[in-house]
Chains A and B, each alone.
Chain A
C-alpha cells in the first residue's frame, strides 16, 4: 500500500493506493476466483479517526482512494484496510 499525505493551509490531502484484487462475489463466481475485497479502510492520526470507508466488490482492482481532512505537517497518519477474509494491511506515513 502506498500512502502520500501533504498539508497545505491546514488541510491535509491524502492519496492511498492499495494493492488488492477486489473481486466481488458475482465476479468471483464468473471468473472462478475466490471473492475477496476490501471491506473497510480507516485512517487515523494518533487516536483520532480522520477517514473511514466501507467498500464493496465494486471498487476497482488496486483501488485509489483520496480524501482530505484538517491536520498539520509532521503528524503521523496511519491507514489500515481490512478485507472480507479478515486480512489487514497498515501503513504509517508522516504528513509532509
Chain B
C-alpha cells in the first residue's frame, strides 16, 4: 500500500474513534447558552434551569488572595453522589468556567487552574443524582488581574 493511502486510512480511523467511544456529555454542544452567560446566575440558569441549590455539601479550596490572577488553583470537592459539577465566577467577561460530567461511581474532587480578571466570587454547583442541587460560594481577592487585565 503506498504511504498516502496508509496515512489516509490512519486518519480516517482516528476521526471515527472518538465519536464511537464517547458517551460523554459535551456541555459546550448541549448547553451553548451557558457559555455565553455574563453573570453566574444566568450561567446557572442556562445550564440547570431555575434551581434553588442548598448551600451545603460542597467545598471550594482556593487561595484567599491570588497573587497571579492568570493562574488561580481551585479545588472543588463534594461527597454527594453527583451527576455534574459546574464552576462560575463573576470577575470575567463571562461567567461559566468549567462543567464536569461525573461518571458512574466518580469522585468529586476536581482541581483546575483558572483565570480571574479581578477579585470576585467563585460559585460551585453540584447536581446531585437525587435531583437536588448543592452550592458553595467563595470570595477571593486577586492582586493582579489575569484575564488580559
Q: Using a CB–CB distance below 8 Å, which chain A residues touch chain B?
A: 11, 22, 24, 26-27, 30-31, 39-40, 42, 44, 47-61, 63-70, 80, 88
Contacts and interface: CB of A to CB of B under 8 A. Distances in A.
B147 A54 contact: no
Contacts of A47: 21
A40 B40 CA distance: 20
Interface residues of B, number: 40
Contact of A56 (B70, B96, B105): B96
Interface stretch (B2-10, B23-31, B48-56, B134-142): B23-31
A39 B110 CA distance: 16
Contact of B92 (A31, A50, A51, A58): A58
Interface in B89-142: 89, 92-94, 96-101, 103, 105-107, 109-116
A82 to B, nearest CB: 8
B148 A30 contact: yes
A51 B22 CA distance: 11
B100 A66 contact: no
B106 A60 contact: no
- Which of A30, A48, A50, A55: most chain B Cβ within 10 A? A55
A24 B89 CA distance: 15
A1 to B, nearest CB: 14
B71 interface: yes
A62 to B, nearest CB: 8
Interface string B13-54: 000001001111111100000010000000000000000000
A68 B24 contact: no
